[in-house]
Chain A
Amino acid sequence: MNKALDLLQGTLDMLILKAVSLGPLHGYGVLLRIQQISKDRLEIQQGSLYPALYRLEHQGWITSEWGESENNRKAKFYRLTAAGKRRLQAESQKWNQMTDVIAGILGTKPEEV
């Protein structure tokens, strides 16, 4: 499978939370981290990251701070909050349950019905 996948509706928030949970990141860093973890299998429109970041911050799941980037420029770093951590757990759990169910359904063979 060479072609990158379009992101499923509503999963971007979860991915951002996960990326940020591994350590504070600026927006561009979040993008790189997701691409890195997904081994470039996911296609994220770069700009669409920011409304999501602002939304998550507004909801109190991440918090931001201006700091210095690796290339010595001022950048805004996002960090997971306690509420964000709980949210991430809940979301991942839900996601895992969902994929189990879906995988189960899709993996069903005719003789199992």
Chain B
Amino acid sequence: MTRTRWARFRSWVNATRRRSQMESEMDAELRFHMETYSDELIRSGVPREEAVRRAALEFGGAEKIKEECRDARGADLLESFLQDVHYGVRTLRKAPTFATIAILTLALGIGATTAMFSIVNAVLLRPLAYRQPDKLYVIREGIAEMAQFYPSFPANLNGFLRWQSQCHSFEQIAIVEPLEKILTGAGESQEIHGGRGSANLFEVLGAQPQLGRTFLADEDRPGSDHVVILTDSFWRDRFHADPSLIGRSITLDGEADVVVGILPPTFRFPKAAQLGPLTDFGSQLDFFKPLGLDPAKFSLLGEFDYAAIGRLKPGVSPQQALAELNIIQAQIAKDAKENIDLHAELWPLETQVVGPARRGLLLLLSGVAAMLLIVCANLASLLLARIPNRLRESAIRTALGASRSRLVRQMLTESILLSLLGGSLGIGLAYLSLHQLVRWGPADLPRLDEVRLDARVLGFAFLLSTMTAIVFGALPAWRVTRTEPHDALKSGAITATENRRTRRLRESLIGFEVAACTLLLIVAGLLTVSFVRLLAVDKGFSAERTLTVDVTLPRQSYPKAAQEQTFYDSVLREVQRLPGVSHAGWINKLPFQGQEEVNSIQASGRVTDALHAPLANFRFITPDYFQAAGIPLRQGRFTAESDAQRHVALISQSLADKVWPGENPVGKQFHQGGDDRPLTEVIGVVGDIRSVALDQPPLLMVYAQSGDVANDWSGWHASLVVRSTSEPLALASALRGAVRSVDSTVPIVHLRQMTEVVTESVSIRRFQMSLVALFAVLALALAAIGTYGVLAYSVEQRRPELGLRRALGAQVSDLRWMILRQGMAPVAIGLLCGVAASLVAGSLIRSLLFGVTASDPLTIASVAVVVLAIALLACYLPARRSMSVDPMVALRYE
């Protein structure tokens, strides 16, 4: 440290540490100066009193000089900050109502924004717990000829093997497919969900186990695959986090598998939708096993069942990788002797994971930010209202030697104090509401379970509080310091002129508030209309009074499809005997649970290229399924007992229209898959249903009989749909009993009402809609309070003027109209701006809307009516108060 720097530091330390001592020394020094000077004047013959006066005058303003000395000494920052804080606390304590309102609204705004940000932080900002997640790509395959039905497929095994050996753009490629197992042994038998992947899966993801190891290279060969890796949550729930499990065996589907590793708690696997359609991973994974498949048993162009994830080599662009993959794809098509355009697709994994949620979350974050801005505008407006008082005070301070920058700093300190208090309260609020949000949030919002208040969120809250303070504090501070002290000190003069200026500012703030809350209300309205339209959409089935029971059959007890069928039939017999059951039927997959069993349809006798044949989702049902689910029969008949030995099916209306346009499809026959497969006869046509999601058009469907040997279906999963004659939940325990009486080892995965299945499929929309609506209503309330406050205050300030007007003969109704007009003018301007902004914002949220356009006139008109009505009320109350002004009292007021 150089000499000067050391001196500076020492002087700063002294200044800070011995503040009072320095202060008294400074006083002594200045006093010495003045006294010595006045002594000298006295000696030269000036009378004592005159000498003292002249000494003080020639010295200059002592307080101002002291202030400058303090500044020069460098202790200024900390010291004056403490002074400002002290002063701020005192000011706020003198205005407890103002302080309370300010802190509470700030807590609301900052709390809501912080809570929203912590969700955005968890879902969008925190990277996947993989090594360099931006290098990870999902590889999918596409066949141009089938693009109209299915734009892309998951990968197939042989394609993967070729990519692995021939494609040099990737460090490695891994594949994984979903797998369910029944865990038996210790405790109750349980269906567990997991994946079966190539041995390098964890290497590609860059995930390390917390215990044990990942798979060895040769463990994905058939025979050597009796090992399993468990996820942390499953290990905790089922095995109480017992570390000695490593090396021990657990029984999956009756076979012993050695536990070789436990994944860390941070490990997450992408969900089905994130790996692309037709990939079917559950939301909660319990285990991973090696692939253990013999490629020789797989065809070159079939079984597109695997999610493929590749890690790009450093410096290789996805375009290069894609070009290389496509060369290999072309060769595969040639080798398979198929004249098709087989190509590959690369989807960045990270975008896949958070992509669909991004827009909705950013919308919520903008919504809450708009609300916070309204809070700021309200506070700025409140602070402006206090300006006339502050002006006199600041004028006195200026006259006493406070610099303008010091005044601004002092006022900003006050705002920062307010918003830090509000912010701390807001963090508490965010903490409490987060629990609710996470519990109430949609299960399929990615990584919602990882939401917490971490350092980043707290930092955000702090920054937000400070910025909020600057936003709402700067305007009033600027106003105050723009005033000449001598103007302010002339009492009375300020009220008129200052009021006109600040009133204009406050009116612009009102306009802004109204615009922001109009925008929020319109967006909330559009989302609500979308949601209502979505729920009102013709699902094609009826969800009321219907219960569903999802079961999984243990594979080892039901190795053959016929045995499964016996189980289904027996349960059905038990259920049909129950009182209150009108119809009951099995299906292998309920609506909204994704696509499954997708196969091509070839009308018999018609030569169609297999690749151009329409693809339909196959479902396997028992005869009463349609009545139970409320799907109407359009033509033909339902299946009957007598069909048991025949290959018959019902098809959906749109499939009938596609394959046999203008013909009666009943009695027609088709092949499922290639024409080497047995023919199935169409016996009936049923209505289309929305089978993927409410907002997606119906898929082509084929309903075959469960147990039909022509359709090699054995899924071990099925759902029983039961239509009840009364309250469906009353049947719940009887249904459980019926399943248990047939086989008590069969786990019931879910038992819920069909309406729940429907609402779960729209839970993300409900989440968005409810939150935006909440923000919009809060914004409306804040804006109404703001408008009321501004107008009420202005009426109060204008009492003398109003009194004068009345004394001069103005009618009560004229005055009321004048006040209303002045109050509503900024509201009207704000409303117009809000509507215009919503038209612009509309294009950003188009993907979140359903059945309504962003410029929906009805929504906009309703919002305008609501805003105008609330604003009228907020303006009418002060206007009415102005009528109670007695001219004499008002004139005497000042």
Q: Which residues of A contact B (CB under 8 A)?
A: 26-28, 31, 45-48, 50-52, 54-55, 57-61, 63, 66, 69, 71, 73-76, 81-83
Contacts and interface: CB of A to CB of B under 8 A. Distances in A.
Contacts of B33: 26-28, 31, 46, 50
Contacts of A74: 28, 32
B749 interface: no
Contacts of A57: 7, 11, 73
B6 A46 contact: no
Interface string B24-60: 0110111011011101000000000000000000111
A113 to B, nearest CB: 44
Contacts of A81: 3, 7
B4 A54 contact: no
B58 A51 contact: no
Given A58-B72, A60-B6, A71 B62 contact: no
B362 interface: no
A71 B69 CA distance: 25
Given A71-B36, A81-B3, A54 B69 contact: yes
A48 B33 CA distance: 12
Nearest to B36: A28
B565 to A, nearest CB: 94
Nearest to B66: A50
Contact of B65 (A47, A73, A76): A47
B643 interface: no
Given A47-B65, A51-B71, 4 more contacts: A47-B60, A58-B11, A61-B4, A69-B36
Contacts of A75: 29, 32
Nearest to B32: A75
Given A54-B72, A71-B39, A76-B25, A48 B65 contact: yes
Given A27-B33, A71-B39, A75-B32, A48 B60 contact: yes
B151 interface: no
B168 interface: no
A47 B36 contact: no
B3 A46 contact: no
Nearest to B29: A76
Contacts of A51: 65, 68-69, 71-72
Interface of B: 3-8, 11-12, 25-26, 28-30, 32-33, 35-37, 39, 58-62, 64-65, 68-69, 71-74
Contact of B32 (A59, A61, A69): A69
Given A47-B60, A57-B11, A58-B72, A28 B3 contact: no
A17 to B, nearest CB: 14
Contacts of A76: 25, 28-29, 32
A74 to B, nearest CB: 7
A46 B4 contact: no
A6 B5 CA distance: 32
Contacts of B73: 54-55, 57-58
A60 B8 contact: yes
A27 B8 contact: no
A94 to B, nearest CB: 18
B55 to A, nearest CB: 8
Given A28-B37, A60-B3, A60-B6, A47 B11 contact: no
A83 B3 contact: yes
A26 B71 CA distance: 21
B7 A60 contact: yes
Q: Which of A50, A55, A57, A73 neighbours the largest number of chain B CB atoms within 10 Å of its CB? A: A50
Given A54-B69, A69-B32, A45 B60 contact: yes
B505 to A, nearest CB: 36
Contact of A47 (B26, B32, B35, B61): B61
B32 A26 contact: yes
B430 to A, nearest CB: 44
Contacts of B32: 26-28, 69, 73-76
A58 to B, nearest CB: 5
B2 to A, nearest CB: 8
A64 B708 CA distance: 106
Given A46-B37, A50-B30, A69-B32, A58 B74 contact: yes
A43 to B, nearest CB: 11
B37 to A, nearest CB: 7
A15 B292 CA distance: 92
A74 B60 CA distance: 22
A59 B7 contact: yes
A76 B65 CA distance: 17
A82 B829 CA distance: 68
Nearest to B39: A71
B191 to A, nearest CB: 76
25 contacts: A28-B32, A28-B36, A45-B58, A45-B60, A46-B60, A47-B60, A47-B62, A47-B64, A50-B65, A50-B69, A54-B69, A55-B73, A57-B7, A58-B8, A58-B12, A59-B4, A59-B7, A59-B8, A60-B3, A63-B7, A66-B25, A71-B39, A75-B29, A75-B32, A83-B7
Contact of B58 (A46, A63, A69, A83): A46
Contacts of A59: 4, 7-8
A38 B12 CA distance: 34
Contacts of B30: 47, 50
A53 B24 CA distance: 17
B411 to A, nearest CB: 24
Contacts of A63: 7
A61 B61 CA distance: 26
Contacts of A55: 72-73
Contacts of B26: 50
Nearest to B58: A46
A69 B28 CA distance: 13
Nearest to B70: A54
Contacts of B61: 47
Contacts of B37: 28, 46
Nearest to B68: A51
Contacts of A66: 25
A55 B68 CA distance: 9
A111 B61 CA distance: 52
B729 to A, nearest CB: 80
A75 B69 CA distance: 17
Q: Which of B8, B28, B33, B59 neighbours the largest number of chain A CB atoms within 10 Å of its CB? A: B33
A20 B65 CA distance: 21
A68 B121 CA distance: 67
A65 B29 CA distance: 11
A52 B71 CA distance: 11
A67 to B, nearest CB: 11
A57 B9 CA distance: 11
A28 B62 CA distance: 15
Nearest to B5: A60
A55 B5 CA distance: 13
B39 A82 contact: no
A58 B68 CA distance: 13
Contacts of A47: 30, 59-62, 64-65
A91 B824 CA distance: 65
A98 B26 CA distance: 36
A60 B7 CA distance: 5
A52 B15 CA distance: 16
Nearest to A30: B33
B71 A50 contact: no
A50 B68 CA distance: 8
Nearest to B37: A28
A31 B36 CA distance: 12
A50 B22 CA distance: 14
B64 to A, nearest CB: 8
Contacts of B68: 50-51
Contacts of B69: 50-51, 54
A60 B5 CA distance: 8
A13 B405 CA distance: 24
Nearest to B69: A54
A22 to B, nearest CB: 19
Nearest to B33: A28
Contacts of B28: 74, 76
